Structure 1
Amino acid sequence: MILELADIRIQPGQQAAFDEAIQRGLNTVIAHAQGFRGFKVNKGIESPERYVLQIFWDTLEDHTVGFRQSPAFAEWRAIVGPFFAAPPAVEHFELVAKS
């Protein structure tokens, strides 16, 4: 399983609207992507405009090819993109240990 980690910064004062938009985008778009296995979203306490989005995929290619190169990616960005203060920093990780 692959973890996609996105560090998202949104425009100040948009937290409530973004909370709704990211939930809607995850449930209506990303949840239907091939290889999608789940997600977590955390919002910053000290920096309330900062969000950490974790999406779990079967393979790296499920995200980088299957999703990112599909029409669904444009649909996802249309929902959440207007809130971004800057493009999200996105990286991928493999599990090493678990409790």
Structure 2
Amino acid sequence: MSAILEVAILDIKPGLASEFETAFKEASTIIASMSGYISHQLQRCLETESRYMLLVSWEKLEDRTVGFRQSSQYQKWASLLHNFYDPFPRVEHYETVIYSN
């Protein structure tokens, strides 16, 4: 069974990118401690200064939608990060169809 890839485009309020990155470093320890977590990446957009892409690999969708989202750790994650977003990000989940190395 292949991993589930969570993808979120994060638009950060103007002038808060540096603060967001600092808060995300702390939040990273929260998500990395969750059951079913595999890995994550935060990437900064080159064309749009205040846009980031968050990629999180989970063993299965429920690890994210139930295990993480319904946990007390998620509340801490939200308190660290949600005030930076405008608009609030859309989160989607993907499964591998074709993989090439």
TM-score in same-fold range (> 0.5): yes
Matched-pair identity in %:
36
The match for 2:65 is 64
Q: Quick one: distance in 1 between partners of 2:100 and 2:26?
A: 29
Q: What is the aligned-residue RMSD (CA, Å)? A: 0.9
The match for 2:54 is 53
Task: Compute the TM-score of the two structures, normalised by the length of structure 2.
Answer: 0.92
Matched residues, number:
98
Task: Compute the TM-score of the two structures, normalised by the length of structure 1.
Answer: 0.94
The one-character-per-residue Cα deviations of 1:38-67 (angstroms, maximum 9, x if unpaired) are 001111111111110000000000000011
Query: Residue 28 of structure 2 aligns to which amino acid in structure 1?
Result: L
The match for 1:12 is 14
Q: Secondary structure at 2:42's aligned position in 1?
A: strand
Q: Which runs of 4+ in 1 moved over 6 A?
A: none
The match for 2:76 is 75
